[in-house]
Amino acid sequence: MDEMDYRILELLRENSREKNMEIARKLNVSEGTIRKRILNMVDSGIIQKFTVETAISIEGIVLIKLDSRRASATIKLLKNIYRDVYEFSGRIDVAVRIIKSTIDELNMEVDKIREISGVINTDTMVRLK
């Protein structure tokens, strides 16, 4: 990576939808140069994914205590429902990361988790942005 790559990354972090032509104009190089450098950064793993962040999102981490007799089955079920499920050893057995548009939607999802057989208790942490 050189200074040009760092400048491209900076512009993409500000706006990942910025057109290659606009980035090229800002950096005073050709569009083909930008396209090739972005492709190289993707191929080499420097750029791992392009994402969308919204101004309206609530991220919750639901900490879950499980009935030890049903833990394995409950964890399997949680992993089938949610993408981000993390197992722990100790006071908390599982954490589930949930992103919703509103706090009400997050609360409804937590209520669904509480209804799952084997869930003893939940605590929810909400990420403030």
Measured between alpha carbons, how far is 114 from 81 in angstroms, rounded to an integer?
Answer: 14
Give the mean model confidence (pLDDT) for residues 22-37.
96
- Predicted TM-score (pTM) of the model is 0.58
Owner of token pair 């990361």: 97
Res. 114: pLDDT tops 80:
yes
Res. 56: pLDDT tops 80:
no
The residue among 48 and 128 whose pLDDT is bigger is 48
Give the mean model confidence (pLDDT) for residues 79-104.
93
Mean confidence (pLDDT) of the chain: 92
Res. 84: pLDDT tops 90:
yes
> Could you tell me the two tokens for 72?
């394995």
Domains of the chain as residue ranges with CATH: 3-43 (1.10.10), 58-127 (3.30.70.920)
Strands 94-100, 119-127: pairing is unpaired
At 51, is the pLDDT very low, low, confident or very high (cuts 50, 70, 90)?
A: confident
Q: How far is CA 28 from each of CA 12, 14, 15, 20, 43, rounded to the nearest angstrom?
A: 16, 18, 18, 12, 24
